Amino acid sequence: MDVVHYFPKGYADGRGKFLEACSSLLDHAPITLDSISHPLSGPDGEALATDIAVIGNPAAKRVLLLNTATHGTEGACGSGCMIGWLRSVGYAELPTNVRVVLVHAINPHGYAYVRRVTEDNVDLNRNFLDHDQPYPENPGYTGIHDDLIPAKWVGPEREAADQRLVAYADAQGAPALQAAISGGQYTHPDGLFFGGNAPTWSNLTFRDILRTIVAPAETVGFIDYHTGLGPYGTAELISGFPVDSPEFGRLVEWYGNGLASSAPGGASTSSSLSGCIDAAIPQELPDAEAVVVTAEYGTYSVKRVIDALRGDTWLANNRDGVDPELAAAIKAEVRQALYPDERDWKELVYLRSRQLIRRAIQALAEKV
């Protein structure tokens, strides 16, 4: 099958393709399937759920955990990669001491509504921290919040806001602007990259999956699929650990080239972050070694991606009275900025994903 057909049009299509691919294996491979229903419905009234497939020896304690849709609509990328792996008989290469867990759509609401955030406007990848402790401060965001989400999306107010953001970048540097915007903030619930003030449904669901499905495990290799940063179609493998740490060294052993650190001083295209989803693994599985990486597939320029997210947040805050054509254009740009509808992009994504899965399974199987 042409690999492009593995990639869905959206959440409903992705879920259907994923469940069909899993069902096709019932007579050929050791597979179990669970679903956790989301309390809300999709834009067309469809049911929303996080679906979890487990493939391989159920007693295996070396686990490859693949996750998609941490950032909602970015999930179509991971859907295609998972569906392709299932359809291309990737499971046939699975050693008896390795189990694969596929988490399809951990944030189904954002996926279905073509949003990067959850139903609470929360960036799930900033939500996994101790909400009883003081939140990380991001004073840079406070100063630009109103410019990121101007009162009107089209016209002089938007143009003036854009000019002020350019002036900020000129004065502080483009990396400083990116960090202020995307580093995460906990003060503006209606803003961009809001980390939330409590664990979201998706946060609690992921933790439940770790405790009840991934466990028991002695080693967990975690790949979290994302899009939007870096060169077009290229996967940057991002670690939150410094390059001189044992954790980063283990990733080099597993995956070889293409790794970058988002820790302070690192060379990743990502800013340094707090509250990422992988933090839950050592918290819920304290006896397991966690080898975690973000597979970040590049799309377009940082400015284009950020502007798409600005528009989507503006639309979410101003739904009443918005011109339908403008609303549709904003949504179309969000989808394209985070999930290019291009054959070459999907082919590049799929090829690299197959390589990463193969290397992770091999590393788990040969671990001493």
Query: What are the structure tokens assigned to 201, written together?
Result: 């449904």
Do the domain assignments include residue 36?
Answer: yes
Mean pLDDT of the chain: 96
pLDDT over 80 (residue 256): yes
Mean pLDDT of 16-29: 93
Number of domains observed in the structure of the chain? 2
Tens digit of each residue's pLDDT (9 = 90 or more) over 322-362: 999 999 999 999 999 999 999 999 999 999 999 999 999 99
Q: Which residues of 9-18 are buried (b: 16+ CB within 10 A; e: fewer)?
A: ebbbebbebb
Tens digit of each residue's pLDDT (9 = 90 or more) over 77-98: 999 999 999 999 778 889 999 9
Let me know whether 169 and 230 are in one domain: no
Q: H or E element: which one contains 40? A: strand 31-41
Let me know whether 18 and 113 are in one domain: yes
For residues 32 and 52, what is the distance between their CA atoms, to the nearest angstrom?
8
Let me know whether 61 and 78 are in one domain: yes
Let me know whether 31 and 63 are in one domain: yes
Let me know whether 55 and 88 are in one domain: yes
Q: What is the CATH number of the domain that holds 113?
A: 3.40.630.10
Let me know whether 206 and 344 are in one domain: yes
pLDDT over 70 (residue 368): no
Mean pLDDT of 128-150: 97
- CA dihedral (190, 268, 81, 63) positive or negative: negative
pLDDT-derived band at 112, boundaries 50, 70, 90 = very high
For residues 121 and 205, what is the distance between their CA atoms, to the nearest angstrom?
17
What's the order of all strands across the beta sheet hosting 219-232? 31-41, 47-56, 98-104, 62-67, 219-232, 289-298, 235-239, 259-261
Query: What are the structure tokens assigned to 234, written together?
Result: 């290229």
Q: Smallest Cα–Cα separation from 118: which of 225, 208, 227, 200? A: 200
Let me know whether 46 and 108 are in one domain: yes
Range of the domain at 319: 139-182+303-335
How many other C-beta atoms lie within 10 A of the C-beta of residue 283? 12
Do the domain assignments include residue 243?
Answer: no
- From first CA to last CA, the distance across the chain in angstroms is 37
Comparing 115 with 263, which gets the higher pLDDT?
115
